[in-house]
Amino acid sequence: MMLRRKNYICEVPDNYFDFQDTDQTITPSKKFIIKTPGEKTPIINKTEKSAQDNPSSDSSGLLKGKVPPNRELTNPEVVSLDTEFRNETAEQQLYKFRFEKTRRTEIEVSFQKGITLGGKATFSIGVPFGEIGAETEMQYQVTKSDGQKFEESMVMEATSDIAVGPNSCYTANVQLEERALHATFKIISRMSMPQGRAPVYIKRKSDGEKVFVYYVNNLIDTFKDAVPCAQIVKEEDGTVVADKLDFVIEGIVKGTLACNHKIALTSNESEEVKNNAKVKYLEAISQRVLDRHGDH
């Protein structure tokens, strides 16, 4: 069967293929490397450079385990706000504290190397952040072939009654942490065929009529030479897997992450006053528990 290629299109339904991201590496931009004030950039022989030459100092866990150990990240930007409640009278005063802030995370992902099916991208990028031992990973699913921008909003709100004793001062400190991110990424996305084969439709451009269908059961023959970023998958014994193929996706991720926030309440009262207040508070809680059990 002879067909004029310019008069026909090949359509590959993406629902017959499954993509799983098997590996990811994020490398922060050089302009975000932390340096001690006055420290000169060391000259390192590239052949002798190792991970120990420039250890990571990402104390908050941002991208922990997903960046090369010889790269460092930017320090977080922390905004600190103090609200002071000062009582200079001889009586206890009750104050109302209310704080509300809308925080935004904006991430932009673009890629210069990869694969698209039907004009769509099929990979996700995970951006972890948070304290060490309690990392949170934000997953962003990229579907647009020219990259994608993600925006998320979160409202932080706190309301409290603050009782300030005579001639005392309470301070409510609010800290908001943000991190600027500008990095290159490399993702290995594995393509497979759950059914063992997938149809390819040949359609006429003029009217969209389907004129021929053939089935693909070997991804290597179909994609390896046509897609430069394709890599052959092998078993542990070196056997080539015909129905799986890895694609290397490389690009840039940048933006601002709204990370941690904290509210701390402190006072200038003596330790004795604080301890007495704590005892009264615990006694009141215990009494409420006893009253609740007594009602039953």
Q: Which CATH number do you get for residue 119?
A: 2.170.15.10
Q: What is the pLDDT of residue 159?
A: 94
272 inside domain: yes
Containing structural domain, residue 89: 5-33+54-295
Cα gap 275→280, rounded to integer Å = 9
Q: pLDDT tens-digit profile of 221-246?
A: 888 888 889 999 999 898 998 889 99
Tell me if 48 is assigned to some domain. no
Q: How many residues does the structure list for the chain?
A: 296
Residue 270 in domain:
yes
Residue 56 has a pLDDT of 37
Determine, yes or no, domain membership for 40.
no
Higher pLDDT, 60 or 197: 197
Does residue 126 belong to any structural domain of this protein? Answer: yes
Residue recorded with tokens 């590239």:
46
Q: Nearest 5°: CA angle at 187, between 128 and 248?
A: 175
Buried b (16+ CB within 10 A) or exposed e, 110-130: ebeebbbeeeebbbbbebbbb
Higher pLDDT, 23 or 8: 23
DSSP structure string for 161-179: EEEE-TTEEEEEEEEEEEE
pLDDT at 86 over 60: yes
pLDDT of 24 > 50? The answer is: yes
Structurally, the chain folds into a number of domains equal to 1
Q: What's the predicted TM-score (pTM) here?
A: 0.64
Q: Is 43 within a domain?
A: no
**Per-residue model confidence as pLDDT tens digits over 132-172:** 444 556 889 999 988 899 999 999 999 999 999 899 999 99
Between 238 and 128, residue with greater pLDDT: 238
